[in-house]
Amino acid sequence: MAKSTFSKKAATPEQLLAKLKAQGLITASSVEDDEALRYLRFVGGYRLKGYWYHLLNPTTKAFPSGFCFSQIVERYEFDRELRSITASAIEPLEISIRCAIANHLSLSHSPHWFLDVQTVFKPVSNWGAGQLINKIEQETRRSKDKAFVAHYHAHHEDPYLPPSWSVSECVTFGLWSRTYSILRNPQDKKSIAMKFGIDQADAFASWIHAITVLRNTVAHNGRLLGNTLSIQPSNSKNLNIRFSDNKSFYASATVINVLLTSTGLPQQWKLQLQSLFAKYPNIEISELGFSPNWHTQTGW
């Protein structure tokens, strides 16, 4: 494919709004014009485009008849609130998963299990124990002023890193997903997964990987509505959970609900979703992979 020189010029919010109106977008009053300009100025046309582009006529690039800017705002605000409640749901789950991994490995091996490379980890070429330890070293150095890290180094010099329960408070959720994936002993994997009621280690690995990617998506303000997620959680035979579209938001949302429920800790994920969907009745939740009776499906 031949490449060309990029020549597109930047447009002001006023110019962009005029272009959208020429494509059939409606703003019913000067008040809506002002609202549209605020969104174009402080959210950005390129970001908002993700909420309207799929609706355009592929040939004429025209909006559907009667389509208003307020509908773009509704889609954008729905997605923003969905990201917010998703982040809130993942937060306690992140803590639960890292706690389960760290506690099991500390009790089964030692508080410094991550330094016992030959016993705990299997050799892999793409991302292994060496990278894991290097990451722990980096994150622990960044956290050197935290009281629990400083206390360890003030009183101990061997091992040179703090124990697992201390390191857990320093490293990212993504590290735990990768840690689980390279554990050598299948029994370690199964024991950790069973804490959440999952008897398939491979399925559990795919679930926490999917949650890690979703967490990063919402943390960086990625769009969820009408979007396909890059990582798909596996079906679960023992829980009788089968997804028609494993890359849908619904699949990851179900995984979150199952894992949160398994902890027995307070959570309102299902209720928050129901409340959000009720608040925005014009949003087609099928764009997220949800069916009308989603709340009665297995996993909910």
Give the C-alpha separation, 80 to 247, whole Å: 20
pLDDT of residue 123: 83
- How confident is the model at residue 172, as a pLDDT? 87
Strands (E), 243-297: none
- Residue 238, pLDDT > 90, answer no
What is the average pLDDT value for the chain, to the nearest integer? 93
**Of residues 199, 252, 205, the one with CA closest to residue 90:** 252
pLDDT band at 174 (very low <50, low <70, confident <90, very high): confident
Nearest to 112 by CA among 59, 144, 65, 160: 160
Is-contact 85 253, C-beta < 8 A? Answer: no
Instruction: Please work out, in degrees rounded to the nearest 5, the angle formed at the alpha carbon of residue 231 by the alpha carbons of 226 and 234.
Output: 110
Rounded to an integer, the average pLDDT of 203-207 is 96
Asked if residue 231 has pLDDT above 90, the reply is no
Radius of gyration of the chain (CA): 24
pLDDT above 80 (res 128) = no
Concatenate the DSSP letters of all residues of 32-60 into one string: HHHHHHHHIIIIIHHHHHTTTGGGS-TTT
pLDDT at 211: 96
CA distance readout (Å), 207 to 178, 215, 233, 236, 246 = 12, 12, 5, 10, 11
Confidence of residue 285 (pLDDT cuts 50, 70, 90): very high
Overall pTM surpassing 0.95 (yes/no): no
**125 pLDDT exceeds 80?**
no
Confidence of residue 215 (pLDDT cuts 50, 70, 90): very high
Instruction: Identify any residues that bridge with 241 across adjacent strands, giving them in sequence order.
Output: 236
The residues near 252 (Cβ < 8 Å, ≥ 6 apart) are 210, 211, 214, 229, 233
Contact, 14 vs 21, CB < 8 A?
no
Residue-by-residue DSSP string for 166-203:
HHTTTS-HHHHHHHHHTBS-HHHHHHHHHTTT---HHH
What is the model's pLDDT at position 8?
87
What pLDDT, in 10s, does the model give residues 64-114? 999 999 999 999 999 999 999 999 999 999 999 999 999 999 999 999 999
Structure tokens at 93: 């789950």
Coil, helix or strand at residue 26: strand
Helices (H), 109-248: 117-120, 129-142, 147-155, 164-167, 173-181, 186-194, 201-219
